[in-house]
Chain A
Amino acid sequence: DSGVTQTPKHLITATGQRVTLRCSPRSGDLSVYWYQQSLDQGLQFLIQYYNGEERAKGNILERFSAQQFPDLHSELNLSSLELGDSALYFCASSPGGSNQPQHFGDGTRLSIL
């Protein structure tokens, strides 16, 4: 068990809808990272938050947004969903130092019908 909790485990919705994915980092970790895993794109970094502030941005679409709350949990919001957004979305956390590994949750599997 990595200590990173993601909910829900599965999400099925339709095109055009909006969903929210939630992540609780390991106790004491200040950094939260979001990744997308799909068959065609592989594992791609989306965005990072550190202690409530956005720290780095990757290949995140404008329809997607995220935030980290004062209790350090994070949410990834996906809107105007398209079929191509179907993927596994992972959250990872780390204490924040650059030489410390990120620990991953088990992901949320998003299916767009």
Chain B
Amino acid sequence: AQSVAQPEDQVNVAEGNPLTVKCTYSVSGNPYLFWYVQYPNRGLQFLLKYITGDNLVKGSYGFEAEFNKSQTSFHLKKPSALVSDSALYFCAVRGAGNMLTFGGGTRLMVKP
């Protein structure tokens, strides 16, 4: 069975600084990996995905993620954080039947 770990419940960063939200995964076979963001009282919004190809994946709103097969990681990054990036971020891996297994989520707080 697949699993996802997000080791940090919360990440604090100052506006304008780079941010990283960590994710490690476990899955048999090739990993299909996703990042989603959730704002209060809203559903999850798709940010980016890794299927195959370049290890650096670019997504929406200036976010990118780095896939590292040897470390089984898929960390979310952004060069310069905005206050409006403050939200709950979920990493997910696709398993059998296209179901998504999510990590526990990381709350990102960007302070002015």
The interface on chain B, measured as residues whose beta carbon lies within 8 A of the other chain's beta carbons, has a size of 22
In the bound complex, CA of A107 to CA of B39 (Å): 12
Known A-B contacts A42-B102, A56-B98; the reply to A105 vs B43 at CB < 8 A is yes
Contact with A along B71-112 (1 / 0, CB 8 A): 000000000000000000010001011111110110000000
In the bound complex, CA of A107 to CA of B41 (Å): 8
Residues of A within 8 A of B55 (CB): none
Q: Chain A: which residue is nearest B42 at the CB level? A: A106
Residues of B within 8 A of A42 (CB): 102, 104-105
- Interface residue A18 (Cβ < 8 Å from any Cβ of B): no
Contact with B along A87-113 (1 / 0, CB 8 A): 000101010101101111111000000
In the bound complex, CA of A99 to CA of B31 (Å): 10
- Interface residue A83 (Cβ < 8 Å from any Cβ of B): no
In the bound complex, CA of A48 to CA of B99 (Å): 7
- Interface residue B27 (Cβ < 8 Å from any Cβ of A): no
Query: Which single member of B32, B51, B99 contacts A58 (CB below 8 Å)?
Result: B99
B98 close to A48 (CB less than 8 A): yes
Residues of B within 8 A of A33 (CB): 98-100
- Interface residue A4 (Cβ < 8 Å from any Cβ of B): yes
Say how far B53's CB is from chain A's closest CB, in angstroms: 11
Show the binding face of A for B, using Cβ within 8 Å.
2, 4, 6, 31, 33, 35, 42-45, 48, 55-56, 58, 90, 92, 94, 96, 98-99, 101-107
Show the binding face of B for A, using Cβ within 8 Å.
32, 34, 36, 41-46, 49, 51, 90, 94, 96-102, 104-105
